[in-house]
């Protein structure tokens, strides 16, 4: 008979031998989740809007999914794609895949269909799990496409006999690729479990914590959010996409849900700080704010520390990479740091990780010199899916530890005389914009596939209105319209990879080595809004003028969708600011998602007085819309909460 004791994340559940002695059973995500469910069966595990589900109910739902998947006779380490909106259902399906001994491939529904199909073609998952609408389209090109409804209606089967081991694949997450081909990073159960175990002494997460799933399921920060919460018995609040793009609405959610653990990119947190400064402050229950995804400017945190101090919550900066399982280093940020430091400090390695600064010959650089960050330890992933050549290039033999591997990150850093580790950015042309790692070469490769486009160069640019963004410079035949090129990019690239500016060039400037001289590229200029040519008299005229200004495009029609003509979530924030200034009224960001054309937004604003635009009520309305995704789960427990 198996006796379950409190698990140690490094060894797993303790199993009783007939002699009464305990022997360690290696921990996996599945075994640790089962243990937590046994410890806290009646505690709420997930919430989304007005719906919630307990650990026992979530476990039952996951078991139903796993049992149905077992009927498909999945092999060990089978890859199962999950193509669902943010919801309780999505997390339940993820757990079901893990319990079935398979690995999950998260797909973000906000990505263009072309990107989704490109990922599926490369990964070749054994099964694709989605909803009925998306299944109809996918079945034209892919086999083994199943809806969650179909799985739940399948007669119960025994859970697959293959139980995952620590060395088995847990998930594959795709990151941007420099050759125009995204690459899938293969991460094991052990990679994730040891991350939680090796950081537990810093955080002591427990069943009383409330986390948010703020980030995309296809962004590796979500691994920390989901598993960090569920394997400590906490409650995970699933943040609707529209709310995640509205700092005011998200601030209200943090207060309403009594969130204690918040994970943020520095850019997103900057917007949240600005929102708090505009709103009436509300009590927050935060214990930790954990930064990752991009360089952190410590001085930007001064306003936060002036309002909240540095004891409650604690602010933590954690450098990390998808290929090394989310986080590599830890540094607590104090109020004094924000006033005195001008560099991005990333702290000390997680105990089971090693961080080396190496030169081009893989030799350690001297203190104070710049070197490439090369990472070893138990967080290093298996490699890239179906890319043995690239895996061999980036995952190399560790010259300091026999039989071990290092991951060459392509990031640069240096050690200061005081021992602080300073992050200096990318060694190659990979950049991070709002937490997303982007290969500029992938965007360029996409743009030159447009008919008539000959060359393209993309650079990061910091725009006063849109903030950190991308600018594209292209050489093309006279017939190529920049507006059409922008629309093409919107069909091919996720929003975070779409350039905000498009600049036609007669020729790209070259340096002495015959390479593109990016420093010689002119600063992009925003197109003049139509309001400079004629007074904007009606609301529609003023809305159109704001669109033309933000999108630098005067030829947008009243029925053109914002996201189809080059808009992105970043530019949407800039558009919102322009509209609120021009119209002198508050506009919930959810209205801009729901009314994404000039004409439909005009109708919405004409039908709603300024007093009818409370941001928090809009957030609650949007949260309530998430109930539909939970309806399928009701049959698993015979009612609602």
DSSP letter string over 537-579? -SHHHHHHHHHHHHHT-TT--TT--GGGGT--HHHHHHHHHHH
Q: Give tens-digit pLDDT for 44-84.
A: 999 999 999 999 999 999 999 999 998 888 888 999 999 99
pLDDT recorded at residue 274: 86
Res 337 pLDDT > 60: yes
pLDDT recorded at residue 433: 83
Identify whether the C-beta of residue 449 lies closer than 8 Å to the C-beta of residue 493. no
Question: Mean per-residue pLDDT for 518-524?
Answer: 87
Res 513 pLDDT > 70: no
For residue 366, what are the contacts with CB-CB under 8 A and spacing of at least 6?
none
Q: Give tens-digit pLDDT for 262-272.
A: 999 888 898 89
Res 561 pLDDT > 60: yes
Give the pairing of strands 22-24 and 51-54.
Answer: unpaired
Res 10 pLDDT > 80: no
Res 329 pLDDT > 70: yes
Give the pairing of strands 395-397 and 405-415.
Answer: antiparallel
Q: Which helix (H) or strand (E) is 486 found in, with range?
A: helix 482-492
Computed on alpha carbons and rounded to an integer, the radius of gyration of the chain in Å comes to 25
Identify whether the C-beta of residue 97 lies closer than 8 Å to the C-beta of residue 65. yes
Res 114 pLDDT > 70: yes
Question: Mean per-residue pLDDT for 331-347?
Answer: 94
pLDDT recorded at residue 439: 81
Lowest mean pLDDT among 53-57, 254-258, 414-418, 441-445: 441-445
Give the C-alpha separation, 482 to 41, whole Å.
Answer: 56
Structure letter (DSSP) for residue 588:
-
pLDDT recorded at residue 585: 87
Q: What percent of the chain has pLDDT over 90?
A: 56
Q: Give tens-digit pLDDT for 444-487.
A: 888 988 998 888 899 998 877 667 889 999 988 888 988 889 98
- How far is CA 17 from each of CA 2, 14, 21, rounded to the nearest angstrom? 8, 10, 5
Q: Is 448 exposed, middle or buried (0-12, 13-18, 19+ CB in 10 A)?
A: middle
Question: Mean per-residue pLDDT for 241-248?
Answer: 90
pLDDT recorded at residue 534: 43
For residue 533, what are the contacts with CB-CB under 8 A and spacing of at least 6?
none
Of 641, 543, 527, which is closest to residue 587 (Cα–Cα)?
Answer: 543
pLDDT recorded at residue 624: 39
Q: What percent of the chain has pLDDT over 70?
A: 86
Of 521, 554, 512, 410, which is closest to residue 455 (Cα–Cα)?
Answer: 521
Structure letter (DSSP) for residue 612:
G
pLDDT recorded at residue 425: 84
Give the C-alpha separation, 490 to 38, whole Å.
Answer: 46
In order, the DSSP letters of 138-194 are: HTTT-SSEEEHHHHHHSPP-PPPS----TTSEEEEEEE--TTS--EEEEEEHHHHHH
pLDDT recorded at residue 577: 81
Of 390, 384, 383, 382, which is closest to residue 168 (Cα–Cα)?
Answer: 382
**Phi (first) and psi of residue 463, to 5 degrees:** -95, 140
Q: Give tens-digit pLDDT for 188-216.
A: 999 999 999 999 999 999 999 999 999 99
515-536 core/surface letters (b: 16 or more CB in 10 A; e: else): ebebeebeebebeebbbeeeeb
Q: Which helix (H) or strand (E) is 366 found in, with range?
A: none
Torsion, CA 47, CA 52, CA 56, CA 62, rounded to 10: -70
Identify whether the C-beta of residue 189 lies closer than 8 Å to the C-beta of residue 165. yes
For residue 607, what are the contacts with CB-CB under 8 A and spacing of at least 6?
none
**Phi (first) and psi of residue 386, to 5 degrees:** 60, 20
pLDDT recorded at residue 174: 96
pLDDT recorded at residue 240: 94
Domains and CATH numbers, the chain: 40-164 (3.40.50.980), 440-511 (3.30.300.30), 538-624 (1.10.1200.10)
Question: Mean per-residue pLDDT for 321-350?
Answer: 96
SS3 for 472? strand
Give the C-alpha separation, 119 to 115, whole Å.
Answer: 6
Q: Specify the higher pLDDT residue, 330 or 574.
A: 330
pLDDT recorded at residue 528: 41
């Amino acid at each position: 008979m198996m006796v379950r004791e409190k698990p140690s994340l490094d060894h797993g559940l303790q199993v009783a031998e007939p002699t009464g002695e305990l022997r360690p059973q290696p921990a996996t995500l599945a075994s640790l989740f089962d243990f937590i469910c046994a410890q806290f069966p009646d505690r709420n595990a997930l919430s989304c809007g007005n719906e919630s589900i307990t650990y026992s109910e979530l476990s039952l739902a996951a078991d139903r999914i796993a049992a149905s998947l077992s009927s498909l006779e999945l092999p060990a380490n089978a890859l199962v794609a999950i193509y669902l909106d943010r919801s309780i259902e999505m997390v339940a399906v993820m757990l079901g895949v893990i319990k079935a001994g398979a690995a999950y491939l998260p797909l973000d529904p906000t990505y263009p269909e072309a990107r989704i199909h490109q990922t599926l073609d490369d990964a070749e998952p054994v099964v694709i799990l989605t909803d009925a609408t998306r299944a109809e389209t996918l079945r034209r090109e892919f086999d083994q496409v199943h809806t969650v409804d179909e799985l739940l209606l399948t007669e119960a089967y025994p859970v697959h006999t293959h139980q995952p081991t620590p060395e088995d694949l847990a998930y594959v997450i795709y990151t941007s690729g420099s050759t125009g081909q995204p690459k899938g990073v293969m991460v094991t159960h052990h990679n994730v479990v040891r991350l939680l175990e090796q950081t537990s002494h810093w955080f002591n997460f427990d069943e009383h914590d409330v986390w948010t799933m703020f980030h995309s399921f296809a962004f590796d920060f979500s691994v920390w959010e989901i598993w960090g919460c569920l394997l400590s018995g906490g409650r995970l609040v699933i943040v609707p996409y529209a709310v995640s793009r509205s700092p005011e609405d998200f601030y209200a959610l943090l207060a309403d849900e009594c969130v204690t653990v918040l994970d943020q990119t520095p850019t997103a947190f900057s917007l949240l700080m600005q929102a708090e400064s505009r709103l009436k402050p509300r009590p927050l229950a935060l214990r930790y704010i954990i930064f990752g995804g991009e360089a952190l400017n410590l001085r930007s945190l001064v306003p936060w520390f002036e309002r909240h101090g540095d004891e409650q919550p604690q602010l933590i900066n954690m450098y990390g990479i998808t290929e090394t399982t989310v986080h590599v280093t830890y540094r607590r940020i104090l109020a004094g740091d924000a006033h005195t430091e001008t560099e991005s400090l990333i702290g000390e390695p997680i105990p089971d990780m090693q961080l080396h600064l190496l030169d081009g010959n893989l030799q350690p650089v001297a203190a104070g010199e710049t070197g490439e960050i090369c990472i070893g330890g138990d967080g290093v992933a298996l490699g890239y899916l179906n890319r043995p050549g690239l895996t061999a290039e980036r995952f190399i033999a560790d010259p300091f530890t026999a039989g071990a591997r290092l991951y060459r990150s392509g990031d640069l850093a240096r050690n200061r005389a005081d021992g602080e580790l300073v992050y200096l950015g990318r060694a190659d042309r990979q950049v991070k914009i709002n937490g997303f790692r982007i290969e500029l070469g992938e965007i360029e490769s996409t743009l030159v596939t447009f008919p008539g486009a000959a060359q393209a160069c993309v650079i990061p640019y910091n725009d006063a209105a849109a903030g950190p963004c991308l600018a594209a410079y292209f050489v093309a035949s006279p017939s190529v319209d920049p507006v059409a090129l922008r629309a093409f990019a919107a069909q091919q690239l996720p929003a975070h990879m779409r350039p905000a500016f498009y600049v036609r060039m007669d020729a790209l400037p070259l340096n002495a080595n015959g390479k593109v001289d990016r420093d010689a590229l002119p600063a992009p200029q925003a197109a003049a809004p139509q309001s400079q040519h004629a007074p904007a008299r009606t609301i529609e005229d003023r809305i159109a003028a704001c669109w033309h200004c933000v999108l630098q495009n005067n030829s947008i029609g009243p029925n053109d969708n914002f996201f189809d003509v080059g808009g992105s979530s970043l530019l949407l924030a800039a558009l919102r600011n322009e509209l609120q200034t021009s119209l002198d009224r508050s506009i919930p960001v959810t209205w801009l998602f729901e009314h994404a054309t000039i004409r439909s937004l005009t109708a919405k604003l004409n039908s709603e007085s300024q007093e009818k635009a409370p941001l928090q009520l809009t957030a609650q309305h949007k949260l309530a819309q998430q109930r539909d995704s939970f309806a399928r789960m009701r049959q698993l427990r015979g009612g609602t909460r």
